[in-house]
Amino acid sequence: MNSSCSLGIPSLTSGEKAHSEIEISLSARNIRRLLSFQRYLKSSRFFRGVTAQNSLYILDDDYNGQAKCMLEKVGSWSFDIFLFDRLTNGNSLVTLTFHLLSHHGLIDHFQLDMVKLRRFLVMVQEDYHSQNPYHNAVHAADVTQAMYCFLKEPKLAKSFTPWDILLGLIAAATHDLDHPGVNQSFLIKTNHYLATLYKNTSVLENHHWRSAVGLLRESGLFAHMTLEERQHMEGQLGSIILATDISRQNEYLSQFRTHLDRGDLCLDNASDRLFILQMALKCADICNPCRTWELSKQWSEKVTEEFFYQGDVERKYKLDVSPLCDRQTSNIANIQIGFITYLVEPLFVEWARFSNTRLSQTMLGHVGLNKASWKGMLQERSSSEEAD
C-alpha cells in the first residue's frame, strides 16, 4: 500500500495532504465549539433572566476570588496571563475582555446587550484553536491585556474616544481568530483555499479579520447601531488587524518614523488615532520579549513548538522546510535573538519615542535583559558542544 492510499485520498498532492492533516482537526474543533457553547448557555446564570443592572455583580461571582483579585491589577505589565487562564478555567479571553469593556464603561456607552456581548466573546474564544501551542486564545488574551496597557498611556488616554478604545480592544481580542497554527507560506504551498481566496496576500490576517466580522454579525452585537456605523467599525477593524502582517512591518515602521521625525502626529485627527491603534496592536502582538523573563521564556517555548511542528509536517510531506521551522538547524535561542534584533527592538524603540513613559522604558529594559539571557544560553551551548 502506498502512502497516499493509506490516507484514503489518493488524488491529493503531498502539499494538499499536509494541509488535510490540519483540516481534520478543524472539523473536530467546530463540533467542540458548538458543544461548549451549548454547555455555556445552559450553565450561565446570565441566560436565566438576570437583568443588566445586577449582571455585573453576578458575573463577578462567576469566577473565583483569585482571578477577580488579579483583575484589579489588569493594567500591570507583569500580569501573568498563564496564571489568569488557569484561574478562569481556560476562559481568560472572555473574562478579561468582558472586564475591560465594562471597566471602561463601554457597555453602557454603546448600549451593548450583555447577552450578545457574552455570546460574541465566547464564540471568539472558541474560534481560537486550543491545540495550537502559541496561536490560541491565551495569546489573544495576552495581546488584549497589552493593548489595554498601551491604551492607558497618557498620550492615548487623553485623546482616544470610547469608539477607539472599543475598536482597539476588539481588534486585539480577534486579531488571530481561527489561526491554523501554520504560516502563510505553508498555506500557499499546500494550495489551501484561504491562500486562493485572499490571492496569497496577508492570507491569515484577512481571514482573522473576516472571521471577526462574521462573529460580530452572527452575534448581533452591533445590530442596534446604524448600517454606516457598523460598516465603519468593520472597515477599521480590518485596517488594524491587517497591520499585524509581520511581512509589512517595515512599511508601517518607516511611516511611524517619518511621523515622529516630523512631529506631525495629531491625535485629534481620527486617521492619526487609527494609525496609532495599528502601531499599538503591532506592539501588543510581538511584545513577548518585552515581558519579564519568566513570562517571555514561556511564550518563546510555545512559539518554537508551533514552528517546529510545521517544519515536521513539511519534512514528512517532502515540502521545503520553512525558515525557523527546522528543529535540525534552528533553536529557541537563535530564533529569539533574531526576532528581537530585527523586529522587536526596532519597533519598540520607535514606540518609546512616541510614548516616552515608564512602561516604555520597562519594556525596553526587559528586551535587553531577555536578549542577553538568550545570548548567554547560546554561548553555553556552543562551549559545551566544543567540550564534547
Residues annotated catalytic, as ranges: 135
The answer to whether the annotation marks 270 as part of a ligand binding site is: no
End-to-end CA distance of the chain: 44
Which residue in 203, 190, 193, 192 sits closest to 318, CA to CA?
190
Q: 331-335: long-range contacts at Cβ-Cβ below 8 A with a sequence spacing of 24 or more?
A: 331/378, 331/381, 332/300, 332/301, 332/304, 332/374, 333/374, 333/375, 333/377, 333/378, 333/381, 334/374, 334/378, 335/300, 335/303, 335/304, 335/307
φ, ψ of residue 316 to 5 degrees: the values are -60, -40
176 binding Zn ion? (CB under 5 A): yes
- Of residues 126, 153, 245, 285, which one binds Zn ion by CB under 5 A? 285
Task: Residue 24: count other Cβ atoms within 10 Å of its Cβ.
Answer: 9
Q: Tell me how far apart the alpha carbons of residues 209 and 323 are, in angstroms, rounded to a whole number.
A: 26
Query: Is 113 assigned a ligand-binding role in the annotation?
Result: no
Q: Is 142 marked as a binding-site residue?
A: no
Report the site for Zn ion in 211-250 (rule: CB under 5 A): none
Q: Which residue has its beta carbon closest to Zn ion? A: 176
Q: Which stretch binds Zn ion (CB under 5 A): 81-89, 153-161, 199-207, 281-289?
A: 281-289
Q: Least distance from C-beta 208 to Zn ion, angstroms? A: 8
Any known ligand binding at 139? yes
| Residue 205 binding Zn ion, by CB under 5 A | no
221, 110 in Cβ contact below 8 A?
no
Only one of the segments 35-43, 105-113, 220-228, 278-286 lies at the binding site for Zn ion (rule: CB under 5 A); that segment is 278-286
Distance, in Å, from the CA atom of 383 to the CA atom of 174, rounded to the nearest integer, reads 44
Report residue 97 CA to chain centroid gap: 13
Residue whose CB is less far from Zn ion, 113 or 285: 285
Query: Rounded to an integer, what distance in angstroms lies between the CA atom of residue 29 and that of residue 37?
Result: 12
Stretch that binds Zn ion, among 79-87, 155-163, 182-190, 284-292 (CB under 5 A): 284-292
Shortest distance (Å) from residue 87 CB to Zn ion:
23
Q: Decide whether 107 or 340 has the Cβ nearer to Zn ion.
A: 340
Q: Is 136 annotated as a binding residue?
A: yes
Q: Extract the annotated binding site for Zn(2+).
A: 139, 175-176, 285
- Report the binding-site residues: 135-139, 175-176, 285, 336
Would you list which residues are annotated within the binding site for AMP? 135-139, 176, 285, 336
Task: List contacts with Zn ion (CB under 5 A).
Answer: 176, 285
